[in-house]
C-alpha cells in the first residue's frame, strides 16, 4: 500500500529559511548563501520522507516566498512596473514582485482559500506575453533525483492559476482571465516535456479551485485544459490534487472526466461528504489519493477511525489503487513535535506536527498492507481516550456562561450615529482624525529586554521600568507627529514581530490554551506565526492589558487606545480544538474579552480597539455556509462590547483579505470605527462605496502599505484620502496606515507617519477653505 504527502513546510524546523531570507534582504549575506540554506532544507525534507517510507514524495513545493508567485515566474507573467526584460527570473525581480522596492509597490497579497497562508495575486491581462521564465520545477526534480529520491513534481494547475488571478491595473474588471488559457498551456507543455525528459514518472497538478462554487463555464475550463494537455502528458502518471472542502457533484463529475489523468487527490477531512461521491461513482482503474491525515491542524490522527474509512474505500477503488495521503499540504501545520521541550507530556500525546503526520500516513499505509504496528496504534488509541476524559479540557462554569448567551443578539442600546455624537463631545477630535493600528517598531534593545526577562536575567521591576520607558518614547513620538488618537505601541508583546503576536499574548493569559516553542507556521514570505493551541474551555483568570493601557493613558492628555484582539481572530489564528463546534469555542473567547473591555472602560480608557483582522479568514469556501458563519462570528464580536457606555468608542481593525463581499456583515458588527486594509489591494474596498453601500460609522481605509519599506509622499497620501472623500462622508473618515508598524524600522515609520499627518492637515485646510 502506497503513501503520499501533498506538500511540506518550507521554513525549516527552526525557521532557517526565514533567517536566511531576511539576511539576504538586509544585504548581510549573498544569493549563494540563501540558495545553500534552501538546498539543505529541501534535501532534509526529501530524505526525511524517503526514510519514513513515503512512496510519492513531492518536489517544487519549496518556495522562497510563495508557490503562486513561483507559477507567475514560471509563466513569465511579470507586471511591467518591475522592469523585467526577459530571461530567467532572478531574485531581484522575484522579490520585487513579492515585497516591492524603493520605487514600485509589491503585488497584492491575499489569503490562500480559508487558511492563514497568503499568496501573491497574479496580475494578468490580454497583453501579457507569457514565456517560460523559471525552470525551478525541473531543477528541483533533478536536484532530488541526484540525491536518490524520485519525486512527484508539483505545479499549480493552469485553471486554478487563472482563477486565483486578477485583471491587471488598467484592464477591464470584466476581462475573462480564463481566456488566457490557450496562452499559458504552451508554457505548461514545455515544463511537462522537460520533466518527462528528466525522468519524472508522476506529476501533480494542484487544482484547489475545484472545491469552490464554480459555474459550468469555469468547470468546462478544466475539461478544455486537460484535453489540450493530454498528448503532452502521455507517458506520465497524472495526479489532480484538490483540498480544503467537499467537491460538488458537478465538480466531481468534471474531475473524474478529465483526460490523461491517472489519480485524484481528495481532502477527506474537510471534504467528508466527498466520500459519498467516491462510493457512488469512482472510475475503474484510477488511483484515489485519500487525504485522511489532517494537514490543517495539529491533533494526532484517530488512526482507528482513519483505518476504518480507508477499508471502506479499499472496497470501492481496489487495494492496489488506494494511496494514503494528507488532506492538503502540511505547509499549514507546525514542523516537528520533537522540538517542543515545554509542552507537558499529556498535551504532547494529543498532537502531531508535520513530521509526525508523515509517520501517521505511512503507518496507515502499512496497516492496509497487512503490516499494522500494533504498539503505535495502541498508543494512539490511548492518547485519543486521554484527551476525551481529561479534566483540564472541560470547565463547567464556562460552558454554562456560553450557553446563557442564547436568546440575545447583544447589540448596544443606542445607534451608532448617536454614539458617535456622544463620543465626539468627549474626545473633541478634528475632522479626518489620525491614528495608527497599534504596534510600533520593535527595536533590538526592546527585544533584548524581553528576552532577558524571560530568561530571568533581569527582575520584573527592571522589566516594567524598561517597558514604561519604551511606551513613553512611543507616546512622545506620536505627540511630536501630532497624531490625534494614540497607541502605546505594544512593547510588552513577544519578540517574534509576527502578525499573531497579540493572539499569543492574550492566549498566554487565558485558560484553555497551550503554547509551543518552535511551532512556527508560514504566513507569507519570511513571516511565520506560532499559533496557540486551544485544547480546552476558555476563560480569563485576571485582567490582561489594563495596567499597560492605563499606564500609557497617564502619559498623555490625548485619547489612548486600549488594544485587544477579537474572539474570531483569536480563534482563526489558533490551532482550535476539534472536539466541539468552532462557534462554541468562539463564544467562550468572546466572554473573556468582554470582561477585559469592561475593565478597560472602568480604568478610564475611552477608545478601545478590538481587532478582527481574521474575521473573513474563517469564511467557509461554500457560499451556502457563509450566513451561518457570519452570524456567529459577528455575534461574537458584539458580545465583547455590548456592555460599554455610549461615550466609549469601540474600534476594530481588519486586514489581509477582500472584504467587499461581507461589507454588510461588517456593518452589522456595529463598531463605532473600523480601520481596514486598503492600499495594497488597489483600493478595492472603495469600490463598495462607489456602488452605493451606505456606511454610517467611522471608517479608516489604510492610506499606505506597511508591508513595503517604501515611504509614501504627502501628495500620494493626500491623493488616496481624496479618493476616499469621493465616496465617504468627511465626518466619518479616519486617516491611518494599513496595519500595525512592528515589522518596519523607525527610519521608515517616522517619515511615513509625518507625511500621513501632513496629508490629513492639508486636506483639513482645503476642506475648510471650500466651505
pLDDT at 494: 57
pLDDT higher than threshold 70 for residue 497: no
pLDDT at 697: 93
Please indicate whether residue 29 or residue 498 has the higher confidence score (pLDDT): 29
CATH number of the domain encompassing residue 628: 3.20.20.210
For residue 112, the SS3 value is: coil
If you average pLDDT over residues 272-301, what whole number do you get?
A: 96
* Among 392, 385, 437, 731, CA closest to 561: 437
If you average pLDDT over residues 554-575, what whole number do you get?
A: 96
What are the DSSP calls for 156-187, one per residue?
A: E-HHHHHHT-EEPTTS-TT--GGGGHHHHHHH
- Residue 557: inside a domain, yes or no? yes
pLDDT higher than threshold 70 for residue 656: no
If you average pLDDT over residues 227-245, what whole number do you get?
A: 98
Mean predicted lDDT score pLDDT of the chain? 94
Residue-wise burial string across 377-398, b where 16 or more C-beta atoms lie within 10 A, e elsewhere: beebeebbeebeeeeebebeeb
Banded pLDDT at 654 (limits 50, 70, 90)? confident
If you average pLDDT over residues 539-547, what whole number do you get?
A: 96
Contacts of 547 (CB under 8 A, 6+ apart): none
- The range of the structural domain enclosing residue 759 comes to 415-509+544-770
The backbone torsions φ and ψ at residue 167, rounded to the nearest 5 degrees and listed phi first, read -60, 135
Banded pLDDT at 205 (limits 50, 70, 90)? very high
- Residue 757: inside a domain, yes or no? yes
- Residue 701: inside a domain, yes or no? yes
Instruction: Note the pLDDT tens digit of each residue in 679-731.
Output: 766 566 777 776 778 888 999 999 998 878 889 999 999 999 999 998 889 99
- The count of other CB atoms within 10 Å of the CB of residue 262 is 16
pLDDT higher than threshold 50 for residue 105: yes
pLDDT higher than threshold 80 for residue 498: no
The backbone torsions φ and ψ at residue 414, rounded to the nearest 5 degrees and listed phi first, read -110, 145
Q: Is 635 a catalytic residue?
A: no
Maximal CA-CA distance, the chain = 84
* Among 405, 301, 427, 304, CA closest to 356: 301
Cell of 520: 512556527
CA angle 575, 707, 552 (to 5 degrees): 75
Burial degree of 731 (CB within 10 A; 0-12, 13-18, 19+): exposed
If you average pLDDT over residues 249-275, what whole number do you get?
A: 96
Instruction: Note the pLDDT tens digit of each residue in 165-182.
Output: 999 999 999 999 999 999
pLDDT higher than threshold 90 for residue 533: yes
Cβ pair 34, 92 in contact under 8 A: no
What are the DSSP calls for 431-464, one per residue?
A: SS-BB--SB----HHHHHHHHHHHTTSS-HHHHH
If you average pLDDT over residues 461-465, what whole number do you get?
A: 94
* Among 110, 125, 205, CA closest to 160: 205
Banded pLDDT at 495 (limits 50, 70, 90)? very low
Alpha-carbon dihedral of residues 239, 245, 246, 247, nearest 10 degrees?
-50
pLDDT higher than threshold 70 for residue 99: yes
Please indicate whether residue 686 or residue 607 has the higher confidence score (pLDDT): 607
- Residue 374: inside a domain, yes or no? no
DSSP annotation of 439? B
Instruction: Note the pLDDT tens digit of each residue in 129-151.
Output: 999 999 999 999 999 999 999 99
pLDDT at 682: 59
Cβ pair 597, 645 in contact under 8 A: no
Annotated binding site for L-methionine: 437-439, 490, 611
Burial degree of 131 (CB within 10 A; 0-12, 13-18, 19+): middle
Cell of 179: 481566456
Annotated binding site for Zn(2+): 653, 655, 664, 668, 677, 739
- The count of other CB atoms within 10 Å of the CB of residue 27 is 7
Alpha-carbon dihedral of residues 154, 156, 159, 163, nearest 10 degrees?
160
DSSP annotation of 335? S
Domain count, the chain: 1
Annotated binding site for L-homocysteine: 611
Instruction: Note the pLDDT tens digit of each residue in 420-449.
Output: 999 999 999 999 999 999 999 988 888 899
If you average pLDDT over residues 106-123, what whole number do you get?
A: 92
What radius of gyration, in Å, describes the C-alpha atoms of the chain? Answer: 26
Cell of 621: 469556501
Strands 118-120 and 109-111: antiparallel
- Residue 311: inside a domain, yes or no? no
Annotated binding site: 18, 116, 437-439, 490, 527-528, 573, 611, 653, 655, 664, 668, 677, 739
Distance separating alpha carbons of residues 90 and 73, to the nearest angstrom: 9
pLDDT at 407: 81
Distance separating alpha carbons of residues 13 and 355, to the nearest angstrom: 10
pLDDT at 743: 83
pLDDT at 394: 94
Cell of 673: 470605527
Quote the percentage of the chain above a pLDDT of 70: 98
- Residue 464: inside a domain, yes or no? yes
Quote the percentage of the chain above a pLDDT of 90: 86
- Residue 529: inside a domain, yes or no? no
Q: Which member of 118, 332, 651, 707 is catalytic? A: 707
pLDDT at 493: 78
- Residue 688: inside a domain, yes or no? yes
* Among 128, 145, 154, CA closest to 62: 154
Annotated binding site for 5-methyltetrahydropteroyltri-L-glutamate: 18, 116, 527-528, 573
What string of H, E and C letters represents the secondary structure of 361-427?
HHHHHHHHCCCCCHHHHHHHHHHHHHHHHCCCCCCHHHHHHHHCCCCCCCCCCCCHHHHHHHHHHHH
Cell of 243: 483540498
Instruction: Note the pLDDT tens digit of each residue in 10-43.
Output: 999 999 999 999 999 999 999 999 999 999 999 9
Instruction: Note the pLDDT tens digit of each residue in 30-86.
Output: 999 999 999 999 999 999 999 999 999 999 999 999 999 999 999 999 999 999 999
pTM for the predicted model, two decimal places: 0.90
Amino acid at each position: 500500500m502506497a503513501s503520499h504527502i501533498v506538500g511540506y513546510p518550507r521554513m525549516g524546523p527552526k525557521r532557517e529559511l526565514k533567517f536566511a531570507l531576511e539576511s539576504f534582504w538586509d544585504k548581510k549575506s549573498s544569493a549563494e548563501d540563501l540558495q545553500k540554506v534552501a538546498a539543505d532544507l529541501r534535501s532534509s525534507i526529501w530524505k526525511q520522507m524517503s526514510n519514513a517510507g513515503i512512496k510519492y514524495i513531492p518536489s517544487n513545493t519549496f518556495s522562497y516566498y510563495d508557490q503562486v508567485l513561483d507559477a507567475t515566474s514560471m509563466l513569465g507573467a511579470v507586471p511591467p512596473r518591475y522592469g523585467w526584460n526577459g530571461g530567467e527570473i532572478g531574485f531581484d525581480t522575484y522579490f520585487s514582485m513579492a515585497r516591492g522596492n524603493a520605487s514600485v509597490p509589491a503585488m497584492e497579497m491575499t489569503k490562500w482559500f480559508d487558511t492563514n497562508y497568503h499568496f501573491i495575486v497574479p496580475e494578468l491581462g490580454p497583453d501579457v506575453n507569457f514565456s517560460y521564465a523559471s525552470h525551478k520545477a525541473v531543477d528541483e526534480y533533478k536536484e532530488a533525483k541526484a540525491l536518490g529520491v524520485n519525486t512527484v513534481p508539483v505545479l499549480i494547475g493552469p485553471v486554478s492559476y487563472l482563477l486565483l488571478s486578477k485583471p491587471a491595473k488598467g484592464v477591464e474588471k470584466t476581462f475573462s482571465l480564463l481566456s488566457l488559457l490557450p496562452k499559458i498551456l504552451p508554457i505548461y507543455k514545455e515544463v511537462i516535456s522537460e520533466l518527462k525528459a528528466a525522468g519524472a514518472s508522476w506529476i501533480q497538478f494542484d487544482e484547489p479551485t475545484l472545491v469552490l462554487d464554480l459555474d459550468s463555464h469555469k468547470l468546462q475550463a478544466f475539461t478544455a485544459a486537460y484535453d489540450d494537455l493530454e498528448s503532452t502528458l502521455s507517458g506520465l502518471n497524472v495526479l489532480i490534487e484538490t483540498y480544503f472542502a467537499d467537491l460538488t457533484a458537478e465538480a466531481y463529475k468534471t474531475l473524474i472526466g478529465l483526460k490523461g489523468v491517472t489519480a485524484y487527490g481528495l481532502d477527506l477531512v474537510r471534504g467528508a461528504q466527498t466520500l459519498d461521491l467516491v462510493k457512488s461513482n469512482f472510475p475503474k482503474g484510477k488511483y484515489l489519493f485519500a487525504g485522511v491525515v489532517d494537514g490543517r491542524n495539529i491533533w494526532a490522527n484517530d488512526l482507528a477511525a482513519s483505518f476504518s474509512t480507508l477499508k471502506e474505500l479499499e472496497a470501492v477503488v481496489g487495494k492496489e489503487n488506494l494511496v494514503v495521503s494528507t488532506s492538503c499540504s502540511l505547509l499549514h501545520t507546525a514542523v516537528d513535535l520533537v522540538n517542543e521541550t515545554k509542552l507537558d507530556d499529556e498535551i504532547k500525546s494529543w498532537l502531531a506536527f508535520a513530521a509526525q503526520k508523515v509517520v501517521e500516513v505511512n503507518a496507515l499505509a502499512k496497516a492496509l498492507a497487512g503490516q499494522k504496528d500494533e504498539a503505535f496504534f495502541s498508543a494512539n488509541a490511548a492518547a485519543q481516550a486521554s484527551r476525551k476524559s481529561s479534566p483540564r479540557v472541560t470547565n463547567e462554569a464556562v460552558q454554562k456562561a456560553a450557553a446563557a448567551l442564547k436568546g440575545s443578539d447583544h447589540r448596544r442600546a443606542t445607534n451608532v450615529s448617536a454614539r458617535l455624537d456622544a463620543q465626539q463631545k468627549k474626545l473633541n477630535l478634528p475632522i479626518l482624525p489620525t491614528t495608527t493600528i497599534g504596534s510600533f517598531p520593535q527595536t533590538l534593545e526592546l527585544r533584548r529586554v524581553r528576552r532577558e526577562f524571560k530568561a530571568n536575567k533581569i527582575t520584573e521591576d527592571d522589566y516594567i521600568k524598561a517597558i514604561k520607558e519604551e511606551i513613553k518614547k512611543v507616546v512622545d513620538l506620536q505627540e511630536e507627529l501630532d497624531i490625534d488618537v494614540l497607541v502605546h505601541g505594544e512593547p510588552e508583546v513577544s519578540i517574534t514581530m509576527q502578525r499573531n503576536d497579540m493572539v499569543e499574548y492574550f492566549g498566554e493569559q487565558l485558560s484553555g490554551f497551550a503554547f509551543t516553542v518552535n511551532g512556527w507556521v508560514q504566513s507569507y514570505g519570511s513571516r511565520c506565526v506560532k499559533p496557540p493551541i486551544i485544547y480546552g474551555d476558555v476563560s480569563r483568570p485576571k485582567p490582561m492589558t489594563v495596567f499597560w493601557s492605563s499606564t500609557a493613558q497617564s502619559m498623555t492628555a490625548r485619547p489612548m487606545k486600549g488594544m485587544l484582539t477579537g474572539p474570531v481572530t483569536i480563534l482563526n489564528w489558533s490551532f482550535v480544538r476539534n472536539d466541539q463546534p468552532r462557534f462554541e469555542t468562539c463564544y467562550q473567547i468572546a466572554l473573556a474579552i468582554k470582561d477585559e473591555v469592561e475593565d478597560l472602560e472602568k480604568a478610564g480608557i475611552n477608545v478601545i480597539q478590538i481587532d478582527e483582522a481574521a474575521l473573513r479568514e474563517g469564511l467557509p469556501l461554500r457560499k451556502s455556509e457563509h450566513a451561518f458563519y457570519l452570524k456567529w462570528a459577528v455575534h461574537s464580536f458584539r458580545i465583547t462590547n455590548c456592555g460599554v457606555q455610549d461615550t466609549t468608542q469601540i474600534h476594530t481593525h481588519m486586514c489581509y483579505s477582500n472584504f467587499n463581499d461581507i461589507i454588510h456583515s461588517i456593518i452589522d458588527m456595529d463598531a463605532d470605527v473600523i480601520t481596514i486594509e486598503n492600499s495594497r489591494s488597489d483600493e478595492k474596498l472603495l469600490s463598495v462605496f462607489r456602488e452605493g453601500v451606505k456606511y454610517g460609522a467611522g471608517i479608516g481605509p489604510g492610506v499606505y502599505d506597511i508591508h513595503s519599506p517604501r515611504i509614501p509622499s504627502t501628495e500620494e497620501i493626500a491623493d488616496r484620502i481624496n479618493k476616499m472623500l469621493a465616496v465617504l462622508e468627511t465626518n466619518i473618515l479616519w486617516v491611518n496606515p494599513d496595519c500595525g508598524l512592528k515589522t518596519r524600522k523607525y527610519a521608515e515609520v517616522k517619515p511615513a507617519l509625518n507625511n500621513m499627518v501632513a496629508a490629513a492637515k492639508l486636506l483639513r485646510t482645503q476642506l475648510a477653505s471650500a466651505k
